[in-house]
A and B are shown apart, each in its own frame.
Chain A
Amino acid sequence: MAQITYREALNQALREELERDERVFIMGEEVGYFGGAFKVTDGLLAVFGEKRVRDTPISELTIVGAGIGAAMGGLKPIVELMTVNFGLLAMDQIINNAAKIHYMFGGHAKVPMVIRAPQGAGHQLGAQHSQSLEAYFLHCPGVRVVLPATPSDAKGLLKSSVRRDDPVIFLEHESLYGVKGEVPDADYLVPLGKANVMRAGKDVTLISYSKCVYDSMAAADALENQGIDAEVIDLRSLNPLDIDTVLESVRKTGKAIVIYEGWRTGGAGAEIVAQIQEAAFDHLDAPVERVATLDTPIPYNARLERAALPSPAQIIEVAERML
């Protein structure tokens, strides 16, 4: 076990999967000589060479499409989108090809690839660099959606994602790259579709993923001082979704808040809310609530940006109101 950063954990996962399976390769803008825009692929080019750590031109649509084609040709590409925002250029290939090829060809083709993309706001990067777009991929049968919160999950989930036979959208949060945590050495896998109860509690369930898990944990700590015992669940993946862990918790607490950095309206968290009330209505003492990003493009000004995004204060306010 070692204390390493989320970034280092991802680097480790990539290194191990490249070593393990010669079909695996990395492709994306600045992944090679630059070491990755967020330095996730740092050092890999020197070890594995240009064939397996491939710098590309700025052509998101075709980089992703080529990844899909390479996967159909028997390889296991890990395509890096510099940020999820630029991934919008590749949406046709992701939604119309990656997600549909296995199905529309009657199961006779498969697309085993991982598309990694940093996302999230908080650094005054402006409207076009600050989005959280997991909802677009959740709303697309045929692709898996994974969002690690901790360094150990980053490693374990990335390794598991690489070993899948389906396209996986692997969304990292830009604010988490420097976060440190305990990460097991060697071949550590975290399965997709298994949520993690980060903190046990009996009064209210806080359901979250990615960076908002930290906001939820901070809120839970503050609520404890008021005698409110919050349970915090990290979903880890939206597809496959471990709704059973969520429902088990809600049946115990009777109250739930879903916290996510996507926009409130039509965000991925709205789906969780819908599923909870469908399956556990009789156990609810109060309507399920959401804490999410305000329905506006993200502003540049630091104070405005902070106010638009979910925060521990907002979670605490909602929890207090509920209890």
Chain B
Amino acid sequence: MALSGAGGFGSMALERDKHIAERALLTMDETQLLDLYRSMLLIRRFEEKTAEMYARGKITGFCHLYAGEEAVAVGAISALYDKDYVLSTYREHGHCLAKGASPRVVMAELFGKATGISRGHGGSMHLFDANLRFMGGYAIVGGGLPLAAGLGLSVMYKEEPEVVCCFFGDGALPQGAFHESLNLTSLWKLPVVFICENNFYGMGTLVQNAICQEELYRFAEPYKMPGVRVDGMDVLDVYGAVTEAAARAREGDGPSLIEAVTYRFRGHSMSDPAEYRSRREERIWQERDPIKALHRKILHDRRATEARLDEIDAEVAAAIEDAVKFAEESPEPGLDQLGKHVYADE
């Protein structure tokens, strides 16, 4: 049993050629790069504020923060079209915001308010927006993969050009649903992009203690689909891989598996002090902060000014304050709402 943790992975050469990421950097204009930056920063500040609100008792229950992993959600979703579907897990705030949800309605949902994106019925783990095609957060590990297969089936059935992007963690690999879903989507050539966010820990369990094949992208091979491993701390590496995978899916060439190597800066949930990780390991990964990395890259390559980036920082800070104010001032759902929405046909 390996006890060394995930510190070694920081220096491991990732198996992917980064030329696509470099090309993406060159072909993107200032607006696109700044959008990536803004989107990641919005998630980071949102999660920080969520932690604060949780500590103050405004948010309760289970709350799983995405800080550190922003490059995966933002890189992937930026590579999709608006009408593409995204399906996530209980660690979904980042995906939901990246898909275009207003921080107001997400924060209001965390506060349990009637104005929340799920009317206060869902909470942190069950956000949903049909118009944005953000098809939900789910609490059961691996529970979303069969749904993604079905969404892919509906797209193919209706002969539409959309793709389905399904996010899940390393903890889902041992679930039967993972294997069944990869088999089915490969067999039927469904337009699904499976993105495994490998942050090395399923709750407190190291990935190598949970799964016999710790190079998770290799699971693509028995399921006869392309599989790549990308640097999940590099938004452009993720963007490049998802662009390719989505194009394949759209052309009818079926599903792909992308393993994004990343790290969650905080514990599994708000109640987890992450004692199974060393502070040293956490520091190593914080030095690979995807937002700081993009900030440095933008300045180094002179794609925008520091003043412009500072402007974005201020805009994001204001958006978060606005979201909290909106959530605070929103009403709770009435008790008459309790029995509503159990059935669509009532």
Q: Are B149 and A69 in contact (CB under 8 A)?
A: yes
| Contact mask for chain B residues 304-324; partner A; CB cutoff 8 A; 1 contact, 0 none | 000000000000000000000
Q: Are B126 and A105 in contact (CB-based, < 8 A)?
A: yes
Bound Cα distance A110, B135 (Å): 11
Q: Of the candidates B155, B177, B340, which one forms a contact with A73 in the assembled complex, judged by CB atoms under 8 Å apart?
A: B155
- Contacts of B119 on A, CB cut-off 8 Å? 106-108
Write the nearest CB–CB distance from B223 to chain A, whole angstroms. 12
CB distance from A98 to the nearest CB of B (A): 10
By beta carbon, the residue of chain A nearest B190 is A66
User: Does the CB pair B121–A93 fall under 8 Å?
Assistant: no
Q: Which B residues between 88 and 111 are near A, CB-CB below 8 angstroms?
A: none
- Is A72 interfacial (CB 8 A cutoff)? yes
Tell me if A105 and B122 are in contact (CB < 8 A): yes
- Fill in one digit per residue for B135-156: 1 if any A CB lies within 8 Å of its CB, else 0: 1101110010111111111110
CB contacts between A and B, total, < 8 Å: 144
Flag the segment in A35-43, A51-59, A129-137, A275-283 that touches B. Answer: A51-59
In the assembled complex, how far is the CB of residue B95 from the closest CB belonging to chain A, in whole angstroms?
Answer: 15
A100 CB to closest chain B CB (Å) equals 8
Contact B121 A106 (CB under 8 A): yes
Q: Check B126–A65 contact: CB distance below 8 A.
A: no
Q: Is A97 an interface residue (CB 8 A)?
A: yes
User: Which residue on chain B has the smallest CB distance to residue A79?
Assistant: B150
Out of B85, B126, B341, name the residue touching A107 (CB < 8 Å).
B341
Contact of A59 with B345 in the complex, beta carbons under 8 Å = no
Which residues 331-346 of B sit at the A interface, judged by CB distance below 8 A?
Answer: 340-345
Q: Which residues on A sit within 8 Å (CB–CB) of B329? A: none
Q: Which residue of B lies closest to A52 (CB)?
A: B157
* Residues of chain A with a CB closer than 8 A to B343's CB: 102, 142, 144, 165-166
Are the C-beta atoms of A69 and B344 separated by less than 8 Å? Answer: no
The residue in chain A whose Cβ has the minimal distance to the Cβ of B119 is: A106
Q: Which of A69, A92, A103, A164 contacts B345 (CB 8 A)?
A: A164
The answer, among B143, B153, B187, for a CB contact under 8 Å with A97, is B143
When distances are taken between beta carbons in the complex, the residues of chain B under 8 Å from A322 are none
Instruction: Check if A65 sits within 8 Å of B154, measured CB to CB.
Output: no
Contact check: which of B129, B135, B180, B340 meets A61 at CB < 8 Å? B180
Residues in chain B near residue A25, CB distance under 8 A: 157
Complex contact B184–A104 (CB within 8 A): no
Minimum CB–CB distance for B141 against chain A, Å: 10
- The reply on B128 being an interface residue by CB < 8 A is yes
B345 A65 Cβ-Cβ under 8 A: no
Q: A156 on the interface (CB 8 Å rule)?
A: no
B273 at interface by CB-CB < 8 Å: no
Which of A62, A66, A71, A107 makes the CB contact (< 8 A) with B340?
A107
Contact between A70 and B153, CB atoms less than 8 A apart: yes
Contact present for A106 and B128 (CB under 8 Å): yes
- The reply to whether B130 and A69 contact each other, CB–CB distance below 8 Å, is no
Q: Given the known A-B contacts A103-B342, A112-B344, A165-B345, are A65 and B122 also in contact in the complex, defined by CB atoms under 8 Å?
A: no
Does A74 touch B at the CB level, under 8 Å?
A: yes
Q: Do B150 and A102 touch across chains, with their CB atoms under 8 A apart?
A: no
B150 partner, pick from A59, A66, A103, A164, beta carbons under 8 A:
A66
Contact residues of A between 195 and 211, Cβ < 8 Å to B: none
The answer to whether B344 and A165 have CB atoms under 8 Å apart is yes
B118 within 8 A of A: yes
The answer for the CA separation of A289 and B106 in the assembled complex, in Å, is 51
CB of A109 closer than 8 Å to a CB of B? yes
Docked pose: A69 CA to B155 CA in angstroms:
10
Highest count of chain B CB atoms <10 Å: which of A69, A73, A101, A109: A69
Give the shortest distance, in Å, between A217 (CB) and chain B (any CB). 31
CB distance from A237 to the nearest CB of B (A): 13
In the bound complex, do residue A102 and residue B344 qualify as a contact, i.e. CB atoms below 8 Å apart? yes
Which B269-283 residues have a C-beta within 8 angstroms of A? Answer: none
Is B56 positioned at the interface, with any CB of A under 8 Å from its CB?
no
Question: Which residues of B lie under 8 Å from residue A78 when comparing CB positions?
Answer: none
- Could you tell me if B344 and A166 are in contact, using CB atoms closer than 8 angstroms? yes
Once the chains bind, are B341 and A92 in contact (CB under 8 Å)? no
**In the bound complex, how far is the Cα of B130 from the Cα of A296, in angstroms?**
46
Q: Assess the A106–B118 pair: CB atoms within 8 A.
A: yes
Tell me whether A66 and B153 are in contact (CB under 8 A): yes
Can you list 24 A-B contacts with CB-CB less than 8 angstroms, sorted by A residue number? A25-B157, A59-B184, A62-B180, A62-B181, A63-B184, A65-B177, A66-B150, A68-B146, A69-B153, A70-B150, A70-B151, A70-B154, A72-B147, A72-B154, A73-B155, A75-B154, A97-B140, A97-B147, A102-B343, A104-B118, A105-B136, A106-B341, A107-B119, A166-B344
Q: A66-B150, A107-B119 given. 17 additional CB < 8 A pairs?
A: A57-B183, A65-B145, A65-B146, A65-B147, A65-B181, A69-B152, A72-B151, A73-B154, A73-B155, A97-B147, A104-B121, A105-B121, A105-B122, A105-B128, A106-B117, A107-B341, A142-B343
